[in-house]
Amino acid sequence: DKGAYPYYMLKEVDEQPAVMRRIVSEYFDQAGNPSVDEAILAEMAKADHIYIIGAGTSYHAGLVGARLLEKYAHIPTSVNISSEFAYDRPLLSQKPFFIFLSQSGETADSRQVLVDVNEHQWPSLTLTNVDKSTLSREATFTMLLYAGPEIAVASTKAYTAQIAVEAVLAKALGMYLADDQAQAFDLRAQLGAVANGMQAITDSKEDLEAIAARFLSKPRNAFYIGRGLDWTVSIEAALKLKEISYVQAEGFASGELKHGTIALIEEGTPVIGIITQDRTAGLTRSNLEETQARGANAITIVARHLAQDNDTIVIPDVDADLTPLLSVVPAQLLAYYTSLGKGLDVDKPRNLAKSVTVM
């Protein structure tokens, strides 16, 4: 039931702080240590390579998870689009471990990969929002997202829940492997800070509605740009805008713009820079300025400690690897208000189904 909300999507965006807190209560013990089934950690510890498999938004969440797993567990991790992996399987390592990301647990493209994985008797873990879903039943292990039912076609809280659960897994596996950095990473406190930060962003809806109306309601195309983790959020942000507002949006590695795509920038093209990482903030800013010099309307989503006078949207500071949990939220709301402003059916965009059970 969406209660007083006009659309499920807005309700689900607003539920994200509560989902973060639920994940903390499900996956941490009294002492503040992550509690993950030891059988999962023991199996993962044997792997020489982790293959994350997902489609759409779940694939995007995997891009963030890979970074966390590599940082804390030191196991090389690649992220794969399920429909590609199913028909063009790359050369695998000797001891692969598979992580399936799927909100619904029913995506046919991802299941196709799992069938192959099971035929080879490779170990697997599904992160899903739906207990006893197909991908949960057929994988070796399951971890639930605890996001509550997601009804809107555009995935929001499942993306942030997937990243949070991946972070729990990365910390737990890192600790299991006796990594000092994993031990020192106070993820429980950080997820609490994330929940508060999400709340602050969802409390500023009016600003985001105004930005959407001013910059995104008319143009037929738009760009999100960033580097590293900010790039991974840029492709998720662009997907949200595309699927519910029908603006042709592209997420782009900002350093790549000058290698061709900048030709598309014209007067009034919205270019939204995501800037949360110390090492690349200056670079993304100068890429954004290059688009501005060609007529773009530059908009910024910036972590507070990097903010400057003219920034558009400033988000609270959290652990550098967890910034996607916050930077995506304004993008979800910009997509929502752009769709709403055009009078579209936000929850049920054309041509799309909630769960894609065909290949």
- Given 56, 123, 174, 226, the residue binding ligand F6R (CB under 6 A): 56
Choose which of 107, 232, 297, 339 interacts with ligand F6R (CB under 6 A). Answer: 107
Distance in Å from the first CA to the final CA of the chain? 31
User: How is residue 254 annotated by DSSP?
Assistant: G
Residue 58 in the binding site for ligand F6R (CB under 6 A): yes
The two tokens of residue 26 are 């499900």
In whole angstroms, how close is the CB of 178 to ligand F6R at the nearest point?
Answer: 33
Residue 154 interacting with ligand F6R (CB under 6 A): yes
The pattern of x and - marking residues 236 through 275 that bind ligand F6R according to CB under 6 A reads: ---x---x--------------------------------
280, two tokens: 């690349």
Backbone angles phi, psi at 333, to 5 degrees: -75, -35
Q: What angle do CA 311, 333, 189 make, to 5 degrees?
A: 80
Q: How far apart are CB 46 and ligand F6R at their closest, in Å?
A: 26
Query: Nearest-CB residue to ligand F6R?
Result: 56
DSSP output for 316-356: ----GGGTHHHHHHHHHHHHHHHHHHTT--TTS-TT--SS-
Among 103-111, 179-187, 251-259, 296-304, the segment contacting ligand F6R (CB under 6 A): 103-111
Residue closer to ligand F6R by CB (options 73, 164) is: 164
Q: For 42-76, b where at least 16 C-beta lie within 10 A, e where not — what string?
A: ebbeebeebbbbbbbbbbbbbbbbbbbbebbbebe
Q: What residues numbered 198-227 form the site for ligand F6R, per CB under 6 A? A: none
The least distance separating ligand F6R from the CB of residue 104, rounded to whole angstroms, comes to: 3
How many chain residues interact with ligand F6R (CB under 6 A)?
Answer: 15
